Amino acid sequence: MAITASQVKELREKTGAGMMDCKKALVESGGDEEKAIMYLREKGLSKAAKKAGRATSEGLVTPYISEDGKTAVIAELLCETDFVAKGDDFVAYANALSEKIAELDVTTGSAADLPAEIADVTDLIAKLGENMGVGRFAKFTTEGVLGVYIHSNNKLGAIVEVTGSDDVEMAKDIAMHVAAMNPSCITSAELPQDILEKEKALYMKQAMDEGKPENIAEKIVIGRLNKFYSEVCLINQSYIKEDKKSVKDILGKAEVAGFVRLALGEDAKEEESED
């Protein structure tokens, strides 16, 4: 039977359990509220609910790469303390999470975009005694190559999709670059026009305030815009391993079709091709 949002809301108000837990309980009990309440109690979700308000500022970013290298996932599993994040049970769960996401028809999102049975970490909460949750994730599938990088602290990761090349090591290096340099987009063409206009106006005002003639000021604006591009656009950035070269130089004839950077507790930044 179909479970309505009002049923889930009412059960949540009565039990204090999470929205997805309540929905699952109602599904399992055929929509019977009393049975759903008993289900939640049996699963120890009242205990989990008490932990639900506690901050989850620690955790892991874990990768998954298919055997053929054509599918890659990075996913965030959150907990309260670094001690728990380093435990074998938590690490194993985080790795399994990334692999499960690889099997789904998803791209980028958070726990709300996953099936309840994947996002539900109630049993892990009960076992390890901390508030936990699935955070954000990103999945790439390509006919090109995928570079995946996870920083040594397992709290920062990136995926880069490269087309026009079969050089996986280069893609991995560019993924490391993305993790370190945090670009906003691939090329300047993807920057919103309103942002560009604000930058141009700012640089023009600065040049005019410096007493430059208008024709000189316009040239200064172009130079400062190029510097801005080198800071925020991936292909214009100085390559982290060879700073005298740009990422575009390293790519040669290849192109970056998309990237995602995921740092624990930060917003995911993603650029994907339009096709």
Architecture of domain 5-51: Orthogonal Bundle (1.10)
* Domain extents in the chain: 5-51, 58-187+235-272, 192-232
Measured torsion, CA atoms of residues 22, 27, 31, 37, in degrees rounded to the nearest 10: -40
Beta bridge pairs of residue 75:
62, 137
Q: What is the pLDDT along the chain (275 residues), one digit of tens a residue?
A: 688 988 888 887 777 677 788 888 899 999 998 888 888 777 766 555 556 667 778 999 999 999 999 999 999 999 999 999 999 999 999 999 999 999 999 999 999 899 988 998 888 887 888 889 999 999 999 999 999 999 999 999 999 999 999 999 999 999 999 999 999 999 999 998 998 999 989 998 898 888 888 889 889 999 999 999 999 999 999 999 999 999 999 999 999 999 999 999 776 555 544 44
- Return the CATH superfamily for domain 58-187+235-272: Elongation factor Ts, dimerisation domain (3.30.479.20)
Residue closest to 261 by CA, chosen among 272, 274, 250: 272
236 close to 246: Cβ distance less than 8 angstroms: yes
188 exposed, middle or buried (CB, 10 Å; 0-12, 13-18, 19+)? middle
192-232, CATH topology level: GTP Cyclohydrolase I; Chain A, domain 1 (1.10.286)
Beta bridge pairs of residue 158:
149, 261
Residue 274: count of CB within 10 angstroms of its CB:
6
Q: What are phi and psi of 273, to 5 degrees?
A: -65, 155
- Helix 33-42 crosses helix 5-15 at what angle (to 10 degrees)? 50
